[in-house]
Chains A and B, each alone.
Chain A
């Protein structure tokens, strides 16, 4: 069954007809053509497909299109603030938070979600927040550091190191 849905995607209004069972991940990647959101498992276990749905991070592989009418969705393609990189994007660059880069969009969206909610996270908070986002390349240390540094930028203080 197809339904008409209207939602905001990265600040722009989008209207689509989609089967209600179409996954948000597939809708973004296959129908809208935004492939920045990655598929790592399709079962909600790796976090690579994390996007913001109504201000909260979700695994887009577990969200059905039928739930999206009226929703506000932000993907990695909408993370920049105007032409500027989001602080967490800047610190991922600077600290070496990305290697193969496949988990990176999901990591960045989850990091943004954490910093939106908690501008002053401890290292433990960051580790916990990112524990559902798997990375096979970096060993996480540089990612955790990047989130700490982004938090410092967002608080208006100097980035450490």
Chain B
């Protein structure tokens, strides 16, 4: 095809208009005819047996239609470990676990009925520390773990409460440390944080007895996976289950899998065909849906005097919370690249996903990369300091470049990392001290590099329809969660069919009519679904050209295609608009449908003993971010003054959207670096489940943001594109941590860098240097 017309252009979002006028309908807004209101009783104990639940009083309350408990529904679910009951069965494992649910004629009645439910508990030992929960002698939080159905890649740990043990073994670290001139060993900690999508969680469900069909309306970013999980849990045929996606108000990993869905489904089987809506309020969303893994990271690194990395050994305890959810795969895909984007001959990683009696941890923008980078990238700076080297120089010496063999056994290509490092550090004049007019304030600079794989292998399929008006409808299962996929995928269809963007629309997402897509996760959509939509568009175009051939009385090779028209190459004025072709071939209501799908085939599966694979990911995202910070010496308060973010995106399909993703990720990362943490006490209770006490970054917290797009084309990607949804967050805390250490001369090992943590670290350092 000729040169690109829409791809690479700063096209305005296609979904913005309904969002700025208030007409957009989100899951939380949805009202269904004759619907009932569902409310949930949450566990108040972190680990306890349920001795009995008394539902009698609640059932007698006028207006109550259904009360369900785990005894009524024997179903369990879980993506890779089937460990989670729809409603607690026999025991509870965290404060916030759904125990029972009520459906009533109105919200107030449902709430009143929940208050009438009585549960008698018998307490069990509570584990809130992932390092402690796997020590010998600990009680199993899941005593039936061995009996659960599990994915075949699961490797349970030898210690108690370990749902997954990931191992990476390359070379011989002991020998590597022996050959090193400097060996550094440190412990880093990352606390639990939450996605805090602005739209809280909700789900609507209806079971129609006549047809035997179950319909679920939910803002879920992986509807086909959710459908599969419900199918397996209920042992119902797939055809009997339908997911419809209203708009989704953010997700960041929190809205895949099953969250509120099981409660709505459980109730829907007891309401005689009436639909049920279950909404979580903000506090319920905080304690009962999903969090990001807390992580304890032990990192030991050996280097030569000249900065050559010799060996790296990392042991990571991922706090899974009470159920496995995505912990096994976070543990695998977060632990594997944790040693960083460097050539290291000897590597040993042990990642443990450990059950605790805390809220469930799962996927979160970055999927384990921020935790590893917080440790690994700070340690890189610390090593540079001790060797008297420039942090840029030590990384340049070891950093992955085109053609390198990674320590997990994969030959790397399309590696734009070096360029990101150069550009990000240059953008903030790294290496030069900024003038500092304020006594009592210390200024510092730091940066961090990351690599991020994507979930592989996966499939995306798409349909593209062209009607007799020349309008194009794209059927794609990628969920618009705010990331801009509807704009990107529309651009792909507009490009391949050479029509203006206004002619393209995205079909609403409904699993009854939309082709399969694995999930809207892992920064995979532009690459996978972009390829699928591209193929479907080409397929539609080919059919239209074939239909136009007799109309233009020509051979295929004599036909050209441009501007949404099929034309005769010899006489370009002899042209038929695509809508005209469809109309003449199929009539005024006719539509040509193109189909396309894309599957990335990995090479050998990850070897469970060594963690090696010759092709572990469809593509890798690379980024470097650099921060300049000011630290107030009296209070310990850290302010980020500016932050540059250079990302290798392969090809920017929409430069505006790239900047939007980078800026959003960076600021989310600043929140997690400076103030976000879910405080869970020793009883397992979340102490700050509100936006008053859990601090997101606000408009007052943001620095000058410098977004830089690097394009190191990925040959398999559509137009060379990779992905970009997650990596903006990943290096942010480590870059800020390095900048803080540069400012105050003290390294801080525990996130967040809240004033008291920074203040006490400075005090401790003062005492040490005075002594």
Report which A residues bind B (CB closer than 8 A): 29-30, 33-43, 45-46, 48, 75-77, 79-80, 85, 89, 92-94, 96-105, 108, 126-128, 130-144
Contacts and interface: CB of A to CB of B under 8 A. Distances in A.
B663 interface: yes
B692 interface: yes
A89 B21 contact: yes
A127 B698 CA distance: 8
A100 B198 contact: yes
Contacts of A85: 20-21
Interface stretch (B481-489, B521-529, B623-631, B744-752): B481-489
A38 B23 contact: no
A79 B31 CA distance: 24
Given A100-B199, A141-B663, A41 B691 contact: yes
Given A40-B200, A137-B250, A139-B702, A100 B482 contact: yes
Interface string B626-668: 0000000000000000000000000000001101100111111
Q: Which of A45, A80, A92, A126 neighbours the largest number of chain B CB atoms within 10 Å of its CB?
A: A45
B28 to A, nearest CB: 7
Contact of B16 (A45, A92, A144): A92
A76 B22 contact: yes
Contacts of A128: 699-700
B686 to A, nearest CB: 15
B699 A130 contact: yes
A139 B664 contact: yes
B702 A140 contact: yes
B674 interface: no
Given A45-B691, A100-B481, A136-B197, A92 B20 contact: yes
A134 B197 CA distance: 10
A100 B17 CA distance: 12
Given A102-B199, A142-B663, 8 more contacts: A37-B22, A93-B13, A96-B660, A126-B699, A132-B698, A137-B664, A139-B697, A140-B702
A105 to B, nearest CB: 5
Given A45-B691, A99-B482, A100-B199, A144 B22 contact: no
B284 to A, nearest CB: 10
Contacts of A48: 198
B44 interface: no
Given A35-B29, A39-B28, A131-B700, A99 B20 contact: no
Nearest to A86: B20
Contacts, number: 172
10 contacts: A39-B200, A42-B282, A43-B282, A80-B21, A98-B19, A99-B250, A100-B251, A102-B199, A136-B198, A138-B663
A105 B28 CA distance: 15
B24 A101 contact: yes
B196 interface: yes
B215 interface: no
Interface in B705-720: 705
Nearest to B22: A36
A101 B699 contact: no
A36 B199 CA distance: 13
B222 interface: no
A135 B13 CA distance: 18
B21 A76 contact: yes
A41 to B, nearest CB: 4
B200 A99 contact: no
B21 A77 contact: yes
B12 interface: yes
B556 interface: no
B667 A139 contact: yes
Interface string B7-19: 0000011011111
B690 interface: yes
Contact of B250 (A35, A92, A136): A136
Nearest to B696: A134
A102 B702 contact: no
A141 B642 CA distance: 12
Given A75-B22, A128-B700, A38 B282 contact: no
Contact of B17 (A34, A40, A93): A93
A156 B16 CA distance: 24
B692 A43 contact: yes
Given A101-B15, A139-B666, A89 B20 contact: yes
Nearest to A88: B20
B689 to A, nearest CB: 10
B249 interface: yes
Contacts of B249: 38, 100-102
Contacts of B198: 38, 40, 46, 48, 100, 102-103, 134-137
A139 B668 contact: yes
B234 interface: no
Interface string B21-50: 111111011010000000000000000000
B12 A99 contact: no
